[in-house]
Structures are given as C-alpha cells and as structure tokens.
Amino acid sequence: EGGTPVSDMRFFPEKCMLPRFYLANVDKIKKFECRSDDVWIVTYPKCGTTWTQEMVWMMKNQYDFKMSHEVNAFYRVPFLEYHSLQNPNKPMNEMAKICATDLLKNRPSPRVIKSHLTVSLLPSQLWTVRPKIIYVYRNPKDVAVSFYHHFQLLENYTGTQEEFVNAFLEGKVLYGSFWGNVLPFWELRHEPNVLFITFEDLKKDLKAVTSKVANFIDAKIPQDVEDCFYDHLSFGSMAKNPGVNFESIINNERLKNKKHMRFIRKGETGAWKESLTSEQIRAFDEWSKKAIAGTDFPYYY
Ligand code: A3P
C-alpha cells in the first residue's frame, strides 16, 4: 500500500523478525511525514550505517566535531523503527520509550534518519516527497560475521557462530533476508532520490565516495575542514569516538563481561576469510547466486 515502487515480498515468503518497537508503531512509520530536505540512511544491519550516518550528519551540521563526540549518534540520527533517546545523556535502559517518529516531528530540518527496514515497510512519502536516500551495501559474508559479533555484544547472544550463520542464510535473524533488503533498493538505484553505495568502496576510496555523497545531498566540504573530516571518518578515529560507540548509553552491567568487544570493531573487507569455514563459504556463494539470478546485480560477493 502507498505507492512503493518495487515489491520485495518475493523475498519474504515467511515471517520476518523485526524489532518489537516496530510492530507497535507500524502505522506511524508507514504514515510518517517526510520532508524534502531529510537525508535517509537505509541499510541492512552491519553494512556501514554508522559510518555513513556520521559522514552525512557532519555535512548537515556544520562539521560540528565537538557535538559528534559529546552527543551519541543514537540521538543525533534517530533510528526510525526503534525507540529513541529523548535525552542524549541518559543510558539506554533509562531511555524514554518514545518512538523515533514522535521525536522526529519536533526536530528542526535538516533531519538525518536511519532505518534498516525493507523498502515496502518504509514510509510511503519517501516516494512522493522524495527526500534523499543513501542505501549502503556490504558483502554479506562480512555482514554475517559482523552481525554475529553485534549479537554477542548487544543482544546477549550465546549461540555458536555456525548457528548464527545458518540462521542468517535462512533469513531468520533480525531484519530477515539480506538480499530481500538489498535487491529492491538495487532496482531503485536510478531513482533521482536514491544513491546506492558500498562499504567496499568506502574502504577503497573514502574521499571519492564522500564527494559523491556530498554532491548527492548538496553539501560542501570546506577546504579548511577537509583533512579533519576525513580523519574523523577514519576507522581509528571512529573507534575512539564515544559519540558513535554504544558504551556510553548501554548500561554498564550489560557490557561488564564484554569489555574486550567494540561496536566499531574491525572495519575490514574480506575478514570473513578468517572466520568462515570452506563449507560456509560454499553455502554463501550458492545462496547469493540463487538470490541474484535474473537480476543485474554486479558485485562480487
Ligand atoms: P565490523 O564488525 O566488521 O568491524 P553498522 O554501523 O551498519 O552496524 O556497521 C558496523 C560495521 O561498520 C562494523 O564492522 C564497524 O567496525 C564498521 N565501521 C564503522 N565505522 C567504520 C570506519 N570508519 N571504517 C571502517 N569500518 C567501519
């Protein structure tokens, strides 16, 4: 319903696991009022969401390095289908259970908004008001490994990596089917309000992708901030920035045995080669080939 230009239902024949908060707010999300100067970062989890949202937030907020360090990204870039921080200094367990859609109503423009929802579940106005949407893809093998660590760090996951990978391939992890999220946005990549970028390109040439993003959202990167800005977006700086790691807003009790784990963790491409077995790699390749058959999706996976 609502004029979504492609259908993604062929990828979701069964049930799909989504945040509980989404289910309580399906209607509010679908009918969310977009503004033409919003910038949306849409991804499957672990594809480089935080990296891209940091880039865009800085461009839209006068390169405010201080605020980026002091105010958590969770507050600066509301997470559409999740509850949001009303007060950026409170830990997550004390977070007001306010839907991000309510928080966003009172946010001044330009807003930067994050979502992991698949295209048909996103607000209908994305395709009438047409705010800019940046979609970020990442090799699913790296995504699965990163997602497994994320689940251990933030969701108290105690299963094995093998169990996690199997669930990922079956689309039985949070947000369901990886290809079901990616391919509909791939089909939409020529829409004037969509920019499709990849984690791999960000790694290969951060400056080139950043310029592409700047052009797309009509932002300028002033010469006097350029060097600091690229440094700010480097893995080393992001890993040290309390504003993009979750430690400060997750209650410490929850993380007390996980001090060695980090949200901004490894930041590499191809690290799956060290973590996946040859059998798992074969399973991934077959799974990807089957999903992209009949499409013109070009990336090596
Ligand atoms: P790894 O777990 O492989 O290290 P998301 O923000 O979508 O959850 O994605 C998180 C992934 O992006 C993590 O991957 C994280 O380390 C990586 N990442 C975040 N900032 C990065 C940066 N500046 N450079 C490289 N990777 C980055």
Instruction: Say if residue 208's pLDDT is above 60.
Output: yes
116, 149, 150, 232: the active-site residue: 116
Banded model confidence at residue 250, pLDDT cuts 50, 70, 90 = low
Confidence at residue 19, expressed as pLDDT on a 0 to 100 scale:
86
**pTM, 2 dp:** 0.93
Banded model confidence at residue 251, pLDDT cuts 50, 70, 90 = low
For the stretch 209-228, pLDDT in tens is 999 999 999 999 999 999 99
What whole-number distance in Å separates Cα of residue 265 and Cα of residue 10?
33
Q: Residue 211 domain-assigned?
A: yes
Asked about 116 being catalytic, the answer comes back as: yes
Banded model confidence at residue 7, pLDDT cuts 50, 70, 90 = low
| Domain span holding position 173 | 9-252+259-292
Q: Residue 1 domain-assigned?
A: no
Banded model confidence at residue 90, pLDDT cuts 50, 70, 90 = low
Q: How far is CA 186 from CA 65, 70, 153, 181, in A?
A: 33, 35, 30, 9
Q: Residue 96 domain-assigned?
A: yes
Q: Residue 112 domain-assigned?
A: yes
Q: Residue 109 domain-assigned?
A: yes
Q: Residue 4 domain-assigned?
A: no
136, 162 contact by CB (below 8 A): no
Instruction: Say if residue 11's pLDDT is above 70.
Output: no
Instruction: Say if residue 259's pLDDT is above 70.
Output: no
Stretch 188-201: mean pLDDT: 97
Q: What sign has the CA pseudo-torsion 177, 179, 184, 190?
A: positive
Confidence at residue 1, expressed as pLDDT on a 0 to 100 scale:
34
Banded model confidence at residue 188, pLDDT cuts 50, 70, 90 = very high
164, 151 contact by CB (below 8 A): yes
User: Which residue's CA is minimally distant from atom 15 of ligand 1?
Assistant: 264
What whole-number distance in Å separates Cα of residue 275 and Cα of residue 84?
34
Instruction: Say if residue 243's pLDDT is above 70.
Output: yes
Query: Using a 6 Å CB cutoff, which residues line ligand 1?
Result: 43, 45-51, 142, 146, 149, 233-235, 238, 264-267
Torsion of CA 141, 146, 147, 149, to 10 degrees: 130
Taking the CA of residue 264 as reference, the ligand 1 atom at the shortest distance is 16
Q: Residue 74 domain-assigned?
A: yes
User: Which residue's CA is minimally distant from atom 2 of ligand 1?
Assistant: 146
Which residues, other chains included, contact 151 with Cβ-Cβ below 8 Å and sequence gap of 6+?
157, 164, 173
Confidence at residue 247, expressed as pLDDT on a 0 to 100 scale:
65
Do the interacting molecules here have an ipTM over 0.90?
yes
* Candidate of 234, 265, 269 to mutate for ligand 1, largest count of ligand atoms within 8 Å of Cβ: 265
Q: Residue 3 domain-assigned?
A: no
DSSP code of 79? B
Confidence at residue 51, expressed as pLDDT on a 0 to 100 scale:
97
Structural domain count, the chain: 1
**Which of 79-93, 185-199, 205-219, 233-247 has the lowest average pLDDT?**
79-93
| Residue 24 vs residue 137, higher pLDDT | 137
Domain containing 99 — which CATH number? 3.40.50.300
